[in-house]
């Protein structure tokens, strides 16, 4: 079945007949909402309560995801890709998560921000090497990404209390996480491209159900499982915060997958990078923090990068349309046809 014959939805919102800018606005709004709430909840749990149990919290929220996906009507009968595809995807996802967490022991906050802000660049480069994708970008998009990255680094480091502190072990770990992140987004895009009947719900469901067992090993080895269980037992309302955060992040996750399916991994990486700048700017506006010249310079570069990204391509690459979020599985499509 051709992708253009299929309707595409995002939580009941029909996207197929809408112009691209409306699709972009709807998906981006869902992403920004989900991760803005996520940021507020993380601020409360990690900083106010001083609960640093990232593995355990991800584990709990994974089960919330599975419940929400089932409520959306997805079942395993609708799967069109083999399980081994999602084993690879989840292994990369958990590896990225683990290396990012581990690097915190060797890098201070400014150094970590500098590395994490560059994510869009390796995503664009990696896209040229992923089988089934082999994506190449026009030169102005690389300049756009570079402006966005430099602008975000300037803005986030403008009020840093310390200078970036680099450790060779930390640099290697965060670099490994960036490589895995760049592979992850492009691999997701390749799955959508090579098998247009893949739905966002399928990808999130399979990545979650395969990824949950990967979380058990580091929780046991680090002793986090016991510590987190005891702490949360003494403060059971934390589970309420985690469920609320998971519900909001679920909206953000499905919106991100929709962006990847429609616009590609690199554009999505730019949006996620810009989200950090928007979140920081909102915090300055809400809490009336003073903006310096460095803040202004960073915002200017970010704006230039976004405007440059909006320039149309002289030779737009043809792209296979993807299926909807809540699409029904067509019986004439077998899993053997869907191997990636």
Tens of each residue's pLDDT in the chain, 340 residues: 333 445 567 887 777 778 888 888 888 889 988 888 887 787 777 666 767 777 888 888 889 999 999 998 888 888 888 988 899 888 888 788 778 777 766 776 666 667 777 788 888 888 777 776 667 777 877 888 888 888 877 776 776 655 566 678 878 888 888 888 888 888 888 888 888 888 889 999 998 998 888 888 888 988 888 988 988 888 888 888 889 989 999 999 899 888 888 888 888 888 887 777 776 676 667 666 677 787 788 878 877 877 777 665 555 444 444 444 444 444 433 333 333 3
Specify the DSSP element, H or E, that contains 13: strand 13-14
Query: Do 192 and 198 meet the contact criterion of CB atoms below 8 Å apart?
Result: yes
Q: What is the SS3 assignment for 27?
A: helix
Smallest Cα–Cα separation from 269: which of 183, 171, 196, 191? Answer: 183
Report d(CA 332, CA 190) in Å as an integer: 22
What is the pLDDT, as a whole number, of residue 65? 93
Question: What φ, ψ does residue 188 adopt, rounded to 5°?
Answer: -60, -45
The two tokens of residue 265 are 């991994």
- 223 Cβ contact list (under 8 Å, min separation 6): none
pLDDT attached to residue 70 = 92
CB 102 within 8 A of CB 173: yes
Q: 236 exposed, middle or buried (CB, 10 Å; 0-12, 13-18, 19+)?
A: exposed
For residues 323 and 197, the answer to whether their CB atoms sit within 8 Å is yes
Alpha helices in the chain (DSSP H): 20-42, 54-71, 83-103, 109-116, 120-126, 139-157, 168-194, 200-222, 224-234, 237-263, 265-286, 293-309
The pLDDT, as a whole number, for residue 166 is 65
Question: Tokens standing for 20?
Answer: 């691209």
SS3 of residue 304 by DSSP: helix
Write down the pLDDT at residue 66. 94
Length of the chain: 340
CA 78 from centroid of its chain's CA atoms = 24
Show the 3-state SS of 194-251: HCCCCCHHHHHHHHHHHHHHHHHHHHHHHCHHHHHHHHHHHCCHHHHHHHHHHHHHHH
- Kindly state the tokens that stand for 220: 């046991």
Q: What is the DSSP letter of 335?
A: G
pTM (2 decimals)? Answer: 0.74
Token reading at 157? 């480091």
pLDDT given for residue 337 in this prediction:
38
**Long-range contacts (CB closer than 8 Å, 24 or more residues apart) made by 111-114:** 111/164, 111/165, 111/166, 111/170, 112/174, 113/153, 113/156, 113/157, 113/160, 114/153, 114/157, 114/164
Query: 1 in helix, strand or coil?
Result: coil
Task: Quote the pLDDT of residue 162.
Answer: 56
């Amino acid at each position: 079945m051709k992708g253009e014959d299929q309707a595409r939805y995002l939580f009941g919102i029909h996207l197929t007949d809408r112009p691209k800018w409306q699709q972009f606005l709807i998906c981006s709004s869902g992403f920004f909402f989900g991760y803005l709430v996520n940021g507020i909840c993380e601020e409360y749990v990690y900083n106010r309560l001083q609960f640093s149990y990232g593995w355990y919290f991800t584990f709990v929220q994974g089960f919330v995801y599975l419940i929400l996906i089932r409520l959306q009507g997805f079942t395993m009968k609708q799967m069109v890709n083999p399980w081994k595809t999602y084993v690879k995807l989840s292994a990369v996802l958990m590896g990225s998560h683990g290396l990012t967490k581990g690097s915190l022991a060797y890098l201070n906050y400014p150094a970590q921000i500098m590395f994490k802000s560059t994510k869009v660049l390796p995503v664009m480069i990696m896209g040229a090497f992923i089988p089934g994708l082999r994506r190449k970008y026009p030169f102005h998009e690389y300049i756009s990404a570079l402006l966005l990255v430099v602008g975000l680094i300037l803005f986030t480091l403008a009020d840093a209390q310390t200078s970036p502190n680099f450790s060779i072990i930390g640099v290697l770990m965060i670099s490994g996480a960036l490589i895995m992140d760049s592979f992850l987004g492009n691999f997701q895009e390749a799955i959508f491209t090579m098998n247009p009947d893949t739905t966002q719900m399928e990808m999130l469901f399979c990545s979650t159900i395969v990824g949950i067992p990967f979380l058990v090993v580091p929780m046991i080895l680090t002793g986090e499982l016991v510590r987190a269980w005891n702490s949360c037992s003494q403060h059971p309302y934390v589970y309420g915060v985690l469920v609320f955060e998971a519900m909001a992040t679920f909206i953000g996750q499905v919106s991100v997958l929709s962006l990847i399916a429609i616009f590609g991994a690199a554009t999505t990486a730019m949006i996620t990078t810009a989200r950090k700048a928007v979140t920081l700017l909102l915090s300055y506006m809400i809490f009336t923090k003073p903006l310096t010249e460095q803040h202004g310079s960073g915002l200017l570069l970010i704006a230039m990068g976004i405007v440059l990204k909006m320039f149309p391509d002289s030779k737009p690459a043809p792209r296979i349309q993807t299926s909807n979020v809540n699409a029904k599985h067509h019986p004439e499509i077998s899993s053997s046809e869907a191997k990636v």
